[in-house]
């Protein structure tokens, strides 16, 4: 068979490729058990995939009850996928192989937040970026974006912080670059990266919670993102934590987002500083409070500033309540905390975890692991690329 053509009439090769991509390295016996394919089909399909340089046998020997079994995994750099993530007025654009390795990445600063121009700015850079790669990528784009994404993963339904509404992202990008485009909330994209390559690598069922300017979660069952019927599964930022709490832009009172996200932390810290005679720790005591941001409050708390510790602890306690509710509802193996605030404040993570364990059912919370994310800026782009590939994978793209 030609190395440029892979036939797969029964879909066995595609099943094997997708299983190795999502579940990682495994033996032929494990592939047989997970895929339900016969040993003969596995043997024949693997031989052809090895011949086409898509799958390889590794030197690592997997432990089994019998003799050691050679592990199988995807060949590094066999195919290239592209993804991008929008955060903090910057696009992070990346090229990746199917094992999650970063082949190349770049930052694209934005000087506009007009929605169409935001995506056109990315499209302009993609052309030169692709030409700079040693290998042509699969013509498919995944985008991690802020806000609520529709169930078809083509449009931003709303991104209140940016005042965006009904933005046809896929339509814009497909017109500009001619590639099918898949859109996913950036926090859920980052969670997919953690699930498959990062802090959640050892777990099949986990929850990722991103905490920054807003709060959103991703729910992952068997390493696959659960999107929900309208694409909104995981919008925990708008769950009610304090019924008589502050008014949220969504119209509800006491949403988690207005109690524990970055803007709430900044606002509460400024208020306490104004009403307190206590001096801030250096170098924050001379800072204009209008310019003080959430990472400054996190840093002050890490330096044991009493007011900052109070603010971070209160915000984390609210998140801990939400985590306990999620734990009791979904019973995940692990919860991964990511985003600006968990990555900047160990106090925030420790407090949220302690409150979660206090409020969740003990038999459920005892074995639930809480970790912080491994991937930083590149996580959203990698997760978006993987999510787009999940949605569009076919044997033809491997030919």
* Residue 35 and residue 170 in one domain: no
Do 152 and 30 fall into the same domain? no
315/268 Cα distance (integer angstroms): 10
| Tally of CB atoms within 10 A around 137 | 19
Residues 221 and 337 in one domain: yes
CA 34 from chain center: how many Å?
25
Residues 67 and 125 in one domain: no
In a domain, 7, yes or no: no
pLDDT surpasses 50 at 324: yes
Same domain, 134 and 46: no
pLDDT tens-digit series, residues 135-181: 999 999 999 999 999 999 999 999 988 899 999 999 999 999 999 99
CATH of the domain at 86: 3.30.420.40
Same domain, 262 and 117: no
- Alpha-carbon distance 155 to 150, whole Å? 6
Last residue of a domain, one of 59, 74, 89: 74
What does the alpha-carbon distance between residue 72 and residue 24 come to, in Å, rounded to a whole number?
Answer: 9
Helix (H) or strand (E) segment spanning residue 186: helix 186-197
pLDDT digits (tens, 9 = 90+) for 207-231: 999 999 999 999 999 999 998 888 8
Average pLDDT over every residue of 295-299? 93
Whether residue 324 is found in the same domain as residue 304: yes
**Which tokens is 218 given?**
């991703």
pLDDT digits (tens, 9 = 90+) for 238-275: 999 999 999 998 899 999 999 999 999 999 999 988 88
pLDDT tens figures, 38-96: 999 999 999 999 998 999 988 665 554 555 668 999 999 999 999 999 998 999 999 99
Rounded distance between C-alpha atoms, residue 272 and residue 267, angstroms? 9
Residues 43 and 113 in one domain: no
User: Domain for residue 225, yes or no?
Assistant: yes
Question: Is 318 inside any structural domain?
Answer: yes
Tell me the CA end-to-end span of the chain in Å, nearest whole number: 12
- The CATH number for 65's domain is 1.10.10.10
Task: Find the helix or strand (DSSP H, E) in which 170 lies.
Answer: helix 169-177
The total of other beta-carbon atoms located within 10 Å of residue 220's CB is: 27
Residue 4 in domain: no
Same-domain check for residues 105 and 70: no
Burial of 166 by CB count in 10 Å (0-12 exposed, 13-18 middle, 19+ buried)? exposed
Domain holding 271, by residue range, is: 202-372
Number of domains in the chain: 3
320 and 230 co-located in one domain: yes
Domain boundary among 41, 74, 107: 74
């Amino acid at each position: 068979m030609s190395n440029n053509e892979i036939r797969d009439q029964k879909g066995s090769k595609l099943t094997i490729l997708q299983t190795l991509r999502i579940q990682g390295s495994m033996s032929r016996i494990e592939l047989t058990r997970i895929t339900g394919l016969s040993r003969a089909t596995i043997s024949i399909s693997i031989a052809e995939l090895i011949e086409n340089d898509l799958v390889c046998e590794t030197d690592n020997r997997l432990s089994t009850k019998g003799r050691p079994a050679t592990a199988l995994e995807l060949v590094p750099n066999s195919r290239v996928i592209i993804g991008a993530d929008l955060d903090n007025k910057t696009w992070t654009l990346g090229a990746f192989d199917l094992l999650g390795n970063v082949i190349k990445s770049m930052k694209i600063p934005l000087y506009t937040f007009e929605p169409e121009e935001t995506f056109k700015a990315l499209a302009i850079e993609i052309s030169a970026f692709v030409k700079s790669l040693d290998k042509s990528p699969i013509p498919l784009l995944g985008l991690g974006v802020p806000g609520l994404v529709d169930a078809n993963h083509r449009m931003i339904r709303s991104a209140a912080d940016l005042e965006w509404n009904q933005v046809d992202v896929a339509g814009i990008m497909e017109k500009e670059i001619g590639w099918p485009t898949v859109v996913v909330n950036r926090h859920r994209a980052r969670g997919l990266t953690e699930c498959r390559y990062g802090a959640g690598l050892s777990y099949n069922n986990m929850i990722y919670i991103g905490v920054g300017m807003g709060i959103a979660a991703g729910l992952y069952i068997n390493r696959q993102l659960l999107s929900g019927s309208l694409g909104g599964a995981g919008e925990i930022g708008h769950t009610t934590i304090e019924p008589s709490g502050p008014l949220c832009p969504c119209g509800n009172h006491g949403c988690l987002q207005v109690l524990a996200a970055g803007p709430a932390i900044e606002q509460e810290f400024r208020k306490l500083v104004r009403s307190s005679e206590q001096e801030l720790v250096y170098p924050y005591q001379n800072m204009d409070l209008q310019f003080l941001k959430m990472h400054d409050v996190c840093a002050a708390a890490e330096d044991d500033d009493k007011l900052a510790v109070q603010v971070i602890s209160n915000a984390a306690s609210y998140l801990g309540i939400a985590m306990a509710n999620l734990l009791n509802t979904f019973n995940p193996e692990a919860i991964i905390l990511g985003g600006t605030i968990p990555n900047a404040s160990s106090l925030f993570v420790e407090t949220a975890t302690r409150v979660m364990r206090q409020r969740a059912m003990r038999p459920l919370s005892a074995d639930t692991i809480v970790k912080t994310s491994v991937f930083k800026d590149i996580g959203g782009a990698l997760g978006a690329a993987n999510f787009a590939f999940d949605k569009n994978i076919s044997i033809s793209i491997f030919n």
